[in-house]
Amino acid sequence: MKVCKFGGTSVANAEQIKKVAAIVKADPSRKFVVVSAPGKRFDTDKKVTDLLIELANAVLQKENCTEKLNNVVDRYKEIAIALDLELTICKVIEEDLRKRIADQPSNSDLFMDSIKASGEDNNAKLISAYFTSIGLPAVYVDPKTFGLVVNDFPERAIALPETYDNLSSLANINEIVVFPGFFGFTKEGILRTFDRGGSDITGSILAAAIKADLYENFTDVDSVFSANPKVVNCPVEIEEITYREMRELSYAGFSVFHDEALMPVYKLGIPVCIKNTNNPSAPGTRIVAERKINRRPVTGISADSGFSILFVSKYLMNREIGFGRKLLQILEEEHISYEHTPSGLDDISVIMRSHQLTPEKEERIMHRVKEELHAEDVHFRHEFSMIVIVGEGMNNSTGLAARAATAISRTGANIEMINQGSSEVSLAFGVHESNENKILRELYSEFFAPVAVR
């Protein structure tokens, strides 16, 4: 049995949904279909999830929300009409949205999660109605009834262990199961969404729960590229990649598959295949537990901006027991997660995603580190990018770091940080954001082939 997840662009309009139906029809083992909310139909379009966020904010700010509500309902209406569906489905969708708005809980996080989740929930209802209308017997499945249980973390929930047992009963359903991505319910029955792009996570949870043979993740590209095709012209397409490699790449800039989505399938060794809804016969990229290492040590190079660095220095820091723990505890108390902590004898840098910081938080952190840890120099720096070179083949190859550093030096950019994890599957460089693209191109031509540059 296969679980197929269709992303936003795959279900953005009627034409795309027809392609989805054809893909599901073509293979009887495609019994579980996870759907996103309708995404962008063209470059400048808005995703339904973003329209829903606008709607929720308008309601919370007590603004008139009629137009924003219509913007959402009209997207479904347009799809339903073009699919020749009974318009009762649009009524169901509109009523559902109005009910969510009327139920407005006092807690804005709860409200936002509920409105956002309606995007996938209503799309799953619509798509299952369409499948049935064309003779593909399908049922919409409510994550609450079947027990997709999550923790109580707004906008970033994580599935609890009992979810897998609960959802395994879906395997007894004869029809095609159409399951909404992106959300679950706490033990108390409160709706919580995953991180943005989290329908990938739902697909993976479902694949693990029913012990699928394959998790197919349908998107709008033929495969995962070895570097961002918007920066590097025609980068190599990746045929096969390990979970570890994909995890490293999707952490920094490879948005094709959510980095949290690997865990459930990884634990059971279920392979994932990234495929293109617009070209389903292309083989796609397979994500597997192990692969043959070919002659190329590097599989992909990712780059992501939006990092900040906290620099702390204190003479004899290396001799002070507990310094690192106390420093990280201050960050923990500010609810900040960190990514890397490269250090010297008397200094340590903590690298984190900038969106977690505010000027007030920064002030508090610097003040506490100075007062409580008696550090001599404490300051934040912003606008950093992380460039990560990833490959299972890097483990045994000598001189790779030297080649990477030399390539970066050719661009004239300064390396602010180097970090190599002990698994030697990745090598990360912290650089100023303004240098990100030229470094990516230079590294790509070093490890792949000289390329024409965009």
CB nearer ligand ASP, residue 6 or residue 380: 6
CB nearer ligand ASP, residue 9 or residue 308: 9
Cβ(419)–Cβ(348) under 8 Å?
no
CB nearer ligand ASP, residue 119 or residue 143: 119
CB nearer ligand ASP, residue 199 or residue 250: 199
Smallest distance, ligand ASP to C-beta of residue 199, A: 3
CB nearer ligand ASP, residue 50 or residue 142: 50
CB nearer ligand ASP, residue 111 or residue 323: 111
What residues from 218 to 277 belong to the interface with ligand ASP (CB under 6 A)? none
**Is there binding between residue 199 and ligand ASP (CB under 6 A)?**
yes
What residues from 114 to 143 belong to the interface with ligand ASP (CB under 6 A)? 119-120
Residue 121 is given by DSSP the state H
CB nearer ligand ASP, residue 38 or residue 391: 38
What residues from 20 to 39 belong to the interface with ligand ASP (CB under 6 A)? 36-37
Smallest distance, ligand ASP to C-beta of residue 37, A: 4
Q: Nearest 5°: CA angle at 44, between 41 and 50?
A: 75
Smallest distance, ligand ASP to C-beta of residue 192, A: 13
Which of 383, 29, 31 is CA-nearest to residue 176? 31
The four Cα atoms 68, 73, 74, 79 give a dihedral, to 10 degrees, of: 150
Q: How far apart are CA 329 and CA 312, in angstroms?
A: 14
What is the per-residue burial (b if ≥16 Cβ within 10 Å, else e) of 76-87?
bbebbeebebee
Cβ neighbours of residue 227 closer than 8 Å, sequence gap 6 or more: 235, 300, 301, 302, 440, 444, 448
CB nearer ligand ASP, residue 9 or residue 163: 9
Q: How far apart are CA 11 and CA 143, in angstroms?
A: 20
Answer for which of 25, 77, 156, 196 binds ligand ASP (CB under 6 A) is 196
| Stretch in the footprint of ligand ASP (CB under 6 A) among 57-65, 198-206, 221-229, 419-427 | 198-206
First to last CA, the chain: 42
CB nearer ligand ASP, residue 8 or residue 393: 8
Cβ neighbours of residue 334 closer than 8 Å, sequence gap 6 or more: 361, 364, 365
Smallest distance, ligand ASP to C-beta of residue 385, A: 23
Q: How far apart are CA 386 and CA 428, in angstroms?
A: 6
Which of 431, 354, 348, 353 is CA-nearest to residue 389? 431
Smallest distance, ligand ASP to C-beta of residue 283, A: 23
| Stretch in the footprint of ligand ASP (CB under 6 A) among 58-66, 197-205, 269-277, 295-303 | 197-205
User: Checking phi first, is residue 161 left (phi over 0); if not, alpha (psi -120 to 50) or beta?
Assistant: alpha
Cβ(181)–Cβ(119) under 8 Å?
no
| Stretch in the footprint of ligand ASP (CB under 6 A) among 54-62, 195-203, 229-237, 329-337 | 195-203
Backbone angles phi, psi at 94, to 5 degrees: -65, -45
What is the per-residue burial (b if ≥16 Cβ within 10 Å, else e) of 357-367?
beeeebeebbe
In the bound state, the residue with its beta carbon closest to ligand ASP is 199
For residues 145 to 184, the per-residue mask of contacts with ligand ASP, x marking binding by CB under 6 A and - elsewhere, is ------------------------------------xx--
CB nearer ligand ASP, residue 261 or residue 273: 261
Q: Using CB under 6 A as the criterion, which residues of the chain lie in contact with ligand ASP when the complex forms?
A: 7-8, 36-37, 47, 49, 119-120, 181-182, 196-200
